[in-house]
């Protein structure tokens, strides 16, 4: 299956990553589609978009893992009319390349994110792009104990510290959770072992008390990944072990509502083994909100979700949609409290 999806990624290249808004009531209800933006076949616009964030005005920000002038991805903004602006084009060199993750905005309009490649050691970077489009590399990973290949974004606290994960590196080469302070000093908060604690982490979030929540795509009791919690002292607890069946496999990030419920995606598993959207309550009980079919609703969601004040979830899939390979931007209305 991994070889199959890799082949689909290569075929797609930068050739048409279509974002589609899909209202998914259930697997049995045919989705309705509205095209928000088509990246088209022009390399400078980027291709194969990752997860999105929105600003207070409703503009969307994101990255593409390829496309751009150099073929190493772009950072883009999509306004409420669907017009795209490329904010930065990655070269694949010291500035980074092949971003696989969403980005974070601060109140001044600076955009923070990661690339999985490039940098001084070609092990990825943490970057910031200011409102004028100037990029600064905040940290270049060495590929050793400090981590390697960050494939998820960063979260920002009130003191200017950034928190994130790398897929590889660390003591067991199974990934790390790291903190990057405002001076660019990195601290490894946790190194995964790819055993019961999980392995190959795929994103984190932070609550007001400083507790981190995230997913690891490997490890756990079934080797299908875990949802974990990391307290401010660096103690890790596994909140849920995926079985690799209908509940999902290879989870990719979570978000948290104000009551403590977690929401996320798993790239594989589900009724068709094409990925799921799930929720996890305070007792550690998982509910599958949607199993992807590979049709208009998409397949292989390799990014987390975002949630609005009405409780609606939004996310992306890598493939599926109208042309079968472009991917979709989907919307789900779970039965959950409003914020």
pLDDT in 10s for each residue of the chain, 339 residues: 333 333 333 333 333 333 333 334 344 444 333 445 555 544 565 555 666 778 888 888 888 887 888 889 899 888 887 788 899 999 999 999 999 888 999 999 999 999 999 999 999 999 999 999 999 999 999 999 999 999 989 999 999 999 999 999 999 999 999 999 999 999 999 999 999 999 999 989 999 999 999 999 999 999 999 999 999 999 999 999 999 999 999 999 999 999 999 999 999 999 999 999 999 999 999 999 999 999 888 899 988 888 888 888 888 888 887 766 667 778 888 764 444
pLDDT in the model for residue 102: 84
127 with 95: CB under 8 angstroms? yes
Q: Residue 237's CB: how many other CB atoms inside 10 A?
A: 12
Q: Is the dihedral of CA 133, 136, 138, 142 positive or negative?
A: positive
pLDDT at 46: 55
Buried-state track 291-309, b at ≥16 Cβ within 10 A, e below 16: bbbbbbbbbbbbbbbbbee
Residues 247-277 as b or e (16 or more Cβ within 10 Å = b): bbbbbbbbbbeeeebbbbbbbbbbebbbbbb
Please report, for the domain that includes residue 178, its CATH number.
2.120.10.30
SS3 content of the chain, % helix, strand, coil (to 5): 5, 40, 55
| Sequence-separated (6 or more) residues with CB below 8 Å from residue 10 | none
Report the domain count for the chain: 1
Cα angle 274-277-280, degrees, rounded to a multiple of 5: 135
What are the distances in angstroms from CA 52 to CA 55, 65, 71, 101? 10, 13, 20, 9
Let me know if residue 55 belongs to a domain.
no
Q: How far is CA 274 from CA 25, 60, 99, 157, 267, in A?
A: 17, 26, 23, 34, 7
Helix (H, G, I), strand (E, B) or coil at 51: coil
Kind and range of the H or E run holding 291:
strand 286-291
Three-class SS state of 9: helix
Q: What is the pLDDT at residue 210?
A: 95
| Per-residue confidence (pLDDT) for residue 13, from 0 to 100 | 34
Structural domain for 284, as ranges: 94-329
Q: How many residues does the chain have?
A: 339
Question: What DSSP character marks residue 327?
Answer: -
In order of 204, 224, 247, the CA distances from 154 in angstroms are 8, 24, 26
In a domain, 145, yes or no: yes
**132: in domain:** yes
**pLDDT value, residue 204:** 93
Q: What local confidence, expressed as pLDDT, does residue 51 receive? A: 63
Are the CB atoms for 165 and 202 separated by under 8 Å?
yes
Residue 260 lies in a domain: yes
pLDDT given for residue 288 in this prediction: 95
H or E stretch covering 10? helix 2-12
**Which pLDDT does position 323 carry in this prediction?**
67
Residue 180 in domain: yes
The pTM of the full predicted model, rounded to 2 decimals, is 0.82
Handedness of CA 69, 106, 260, 206 (dihedral sign): positive
């Amino acid at each position: 299956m991994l070889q199959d999806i890799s082949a689909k990624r290569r075929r797609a290249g930068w050739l048409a990553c279509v974002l589609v808004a899909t209202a998914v009531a259930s697997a049995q209800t045919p989705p309705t589609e509205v095209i928000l933006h088509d990246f088209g076949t022009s390399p400078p616009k980027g291709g194969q978009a990752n997860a999105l964030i929105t600003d207070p005005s409703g503009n969307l920000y994101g990255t593409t893992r390829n496309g751009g002038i150099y073929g190493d991805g772009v950072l883009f903004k999509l306004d409420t009319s669907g017009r795209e602006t490329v904010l930065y084009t990655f070269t694949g060199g010291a500035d980074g390349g092949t971003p696989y993750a969403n980005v974070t905005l601060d109140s001044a309009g600076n955009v923070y994110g990661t690339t999985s490649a490039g940098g001084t050691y070609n092990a990825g970077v943490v970057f910031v792009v200011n409102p004028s489009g100037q990029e600064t590399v905040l940290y270049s990973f060495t590929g050793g104990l400090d981590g390697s290949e960050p494939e998820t974004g960063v979260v920002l606290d009130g003191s200017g510290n950034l928190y994130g994960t790398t897929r590889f590196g660390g003591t067991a080469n199974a990934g790390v959770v790291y903190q990057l302070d405002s001076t660019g000093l990195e601290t490894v908060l946790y190194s995964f072992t790819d055993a019961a604690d999980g392995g190959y982490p795929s994103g984190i979030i932070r609550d007001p008390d400083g507790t981190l929540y995230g997913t690891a795509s490997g490890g756990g009791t079934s080797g299908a990944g875990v949802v974990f919690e990391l307290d401010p002292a660096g103690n890790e607890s596994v909140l849920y072990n995926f079985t690799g069946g209908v509940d999902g496999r290879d989870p990719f990030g979570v978000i948290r509502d104000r009551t403590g419920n977690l929401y996320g995606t798993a790239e594989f598993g589900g009724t068709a083994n094409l990925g799921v959207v799930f929720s996890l309550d305070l007792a550690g009980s998982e509910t599958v909100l949607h199993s992807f079919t590979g049709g208009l609703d998409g397949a292989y969601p390799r990014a987390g979700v975002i949630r609005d004040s009405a409780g609606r979830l939004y996310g992306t899939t890598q493939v599926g949609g109208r042309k079968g390979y472009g991917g979709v931007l989907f919307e789900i209305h779970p039965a959950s409290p409003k914020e």
